[in-house]
Structure 1
């Protein structure tokens, strides 16, 4: 498919205790950068970063204004002396427009701008990218805050965190075409203690995806659409043991998405998806506002297997709105590893805008209960008879 020739990134990545006026400023122009939009300035950026990382008192990496800096995929890596570093972009940063012209570190072209082992980092102002890579990757960095960003039409994942601890993501806007594959908005792996709030995300894939090792994730005030919703997984592909747990989603709006809140696992996998609460979910014309799928498969030939990722202690509270499909709730669990401890309270989902009654599919649930008004009726759940 055709993508716009640019992706504008407004990035702000801040530590909680940053004092912006501290420390020395390292200007990339002092390291040989040209800034004409044609000359590769990657080497100058890396030289400047080397001195920034050696500095001891809250240094600032400066990309000056009124210039256009062409850089290839780069990795800004710590561990740095200072735990408070500001990456300030007043000018414009671009990537080569043709993949054949990319010069990648160690021939790795997985992401355009990456930060690794950098705690307490600030990235501010605007970066203009022309890239077919993951736009921003933060790895093995702790106590990081990302806020007030806008991403437009990146053709792959937009924001990726992996092996991080202590992350706050807020006021992020992500916009990609509905038919663009693999354009996840926010993707977390092996990352713990995360807050994601006040974000508006529209993509051709998951708005937010949580895969192996994601734990203690709190999401609130999320607007998603188009896209595949908020997805736990997929987990357990190729028989792997993978886990996601302690997830809380509150105040999420799904508009025209293929799913609302989804848990997807592969047959033959191991591990668990457990201890999750989804509450105050609003659906407007989503295909499956609620879906658990232990039979996930993304290719044509899929076979039944005895093993499965355990799904346990999942609650859905106050879910309302419309479903694009008649089956608004789908809970498809394994014969050999059934879902356990599923609780649903006060849901009201109708089929499209006509107000027709929706239906539910439910299979292989142990200790499944409902309370309050539950529409559509979910046959595999029992009334808990609470007052």
Structure 2
């Protein structure tokens, strides 16, 4: 798939429904040159694919879009992602603004969770620029401009006590601007498996709240709220 056109997922209508563009069981897949905006949920999903090259894409989502990953990769190997610009969430500004935003965010979230079921889905703002999920291996990610959004993530892995692995990952020459996270690894505490041979090289971060985060007690926000 190659071209200079645009795919508009008209995401605000469908945010709770599906991913805009999914590829399953593909071999020798190439994606290049497309501008992908306003996804319904995640923008691009790569599942059970081999030998995939993704390059020169521009992916954008509005600041208030929920759970809109840029590129999701799972159960796939020999994947190259390069020269892409991905913006999938609300931009971080400075520490004071971040702290104020967090307090307001928590207050609104608790109110919505307790009193307005219809609005709960809107509390998850943006998501990962790139997410490497269960079964991703031999992944090469280079020259990515990420931001705003949640950074480049391995996981989440092991939800529901499941077995999950990610291995042989290289992330290099990538820039993060105004992201919540930079480089993130997230696993559920009841899962098992492994993450190994992951390399980060020549990473640039600006106005990133959590430059490096390894979270081995990851939880969905909705599940965390059940504690209250």
1:96 alignment counterpart: none
Could you list the per-position Cα deviations for residues 52-91 of structure 1 after superposition, in whole angstroms to 9, with x for gaps in the alignment?
xxxxxxxxxxxxxxxxxxxxxxxxxxxxxxxxxxxxxxxx
Where structure 2 has 5 or more consecutive residues not aligned to the other structure, the ranges are: 89-125
Moved >3 Å (runs of 4+): 123-131
Other structure's SS at 1:238 match = helix
- Once the two structures are TM-superposed, the CA of residue 295 in structure 1 deviates from its matched residue by 1.1
Q: Normalised by the size of structure 1, how large is the TM-score? A: 0.45
Whose Rg is larger? 1
Aligned with residue 199 of structure 2, among 250, 256, 277: 277
Higher relative contact order (CA 8 A, sep 6+): 2
Corresponding position of 1:215:
137
Residue 23 of structure 2 contacts residue 46 of structure 2 at CA under 8 Å; is this kept in 1? Answer: yes
User: For residues 252-293 of structure 1, what are the alpha-carbon distances to aligned partners after superposition, in whole Å with 9 as ceiling and x for unaligned?
Assistant: 111111100100001011001111000111110101111111
Query: The residue matched to 1:134 in structure 2 has which SS?
Result: coil
Q: Match for 2:69 among 171, 184, 200? A: 184
Q: Give the Å deviation of 1:179.
A: 2.6
List gaps (5 residues or longer) in structure 1: 1-11, 14-122, 304-387
Residue aligning to 1:300 = 224
Report the CA distance shift for 1:124/1:284 in structure 2 as closer, same or farther (over 3 A).
closer
Structure with more of its chain in helix, by fraction: 2
Residue 243 (structure 1) aligned to one of 156, 159, 165: 165
Q: Is the 8 A contact 2:51 2:77 kept in 1?
A: yes
Per-residue Cα deviation, 1:204-262 (whole angstroms, up to 9, x for no partner): 11000010000000000000001000010000111000001100000111111110010
Q: 2:185 aligns with which of 242, 247, 263?
A: 263
Contact 1:155/1:176, CA 8 A, preserved across alignment: no
CA separation of 1:274 and 1:124: change in aligned 2, threshold 3 A? same
More strand by share: 1
Distance 1:127 1:237, change over 3 A: closer
Q: How far apart, CA to CA, are the structure 2 residues paired with 1:246 and 1:192?
A: 9
**TM-score, L = length of structure 2:** 0.76
**Does the aligned pair in 1 maintain the 2:41–2:68 contact within 8 Å?**
yes
Q: Does 1:175 align with 2:97?
A: no
